[in-house]
Chain A
Amino acid sequence: MTDAAARTNERNQIFRDLFSGKTPKRVPISNPATQDFAIQHAGLDLAECQWDLTKLEPVYDKFCQDFYTDTYPGGSIRIPSHYQILGSTPIVMSSSGFMQHPDVVGMLAEEYDQFIASPYDCIVETILPRLYTGFNGEPGKVAMTLAKAMRAQSDDLAHLGAIRAKMNAKYGFAGMIGALTEAPFDFMADFLRSFKGISGDVRRYPDKVAAACEAVLPLMIKKGTLPNPSMLGYTFIPLHMAPYLRDKDFATLYWPTFKKLVETLASMGQNVQLFVEQDWMRYLDYLYELPENTIMRFEYGDAKVIKEKLGQKHIISGLYPVTLLQTGTKQQCVDKAKELLDILAPGGRYWWQADKSIIHLEASGPVVENLKAVLDYVHENGTY
Chain B
Amino acid sequence: MDSKYYVTWEEYLAEHPELEGKPQQAIAPKIEKYEDAMFTFIMDLLL
Contacts and interface: CB of A to CB of B under 8 A. Distances in A.
Q: Is the pairing of A and B real?
A: yes
B25 interface: no
A72 B38 CA distance: 27
B46 A123 contact: yes
Nearest to A127: B46
Interface of A is mostly: helix
B46 A192 contact: yes
Interface residues of A, number: 29
A120 B5 contact: yes
A153 B1 CA distance: 25
B4 interface: yes
B3 A187 contact: no
B4 A121 contact: yes
A85 B47 CA distance: 17
B11 to A, nearest CB: 14
Nearest to B36: A222
Interface in A99-140: 106, 118-121, 123-124, 127-128, 131-132
Given A121-B3, A124-B5, A223 B43 contact: yes
A274 to B, nearest CB: 15
Given A118-B2, A118-B3, A222-B1, A124 B42 contact: yes
A190 interface: yes
Contacts of A86: 45
A92 interface: no
B20 to A, nearest CB: 28
A237 to B, nearest CB: 10
Contacts of A222: 1, 39
Contact of B40 (A120, A127, A149, A223): A223
A128 B47 contact: no
Given A118-B3, A182-B47, A218-B1, A123 B39 contact: no
A181 B43 CA distance: 9
B15 interface: no
Interface in A51-95: 77, 86, 88, 90
Contacts of B41: 149-150, 153
Interface of B: 1-6, 37-47
20 contacts: A86-B45, A118-B2, A119-B3, A120-B1, A120-B6, A120-B39, A121-B5, A123-B46, A124-B5, A150-B38, A153-B41, A180-B47, A187-B47, A190-B47, A191-B46, A191-B47, A222-B1, A222-B39, A223-B39, A223-B40
Closest 7 pairs between A and B when the two form their complex, measured CB to CB: A120-B3, A191-B46, A223-B43, A124-B5, A121-B3, A150-B41, A118-B3
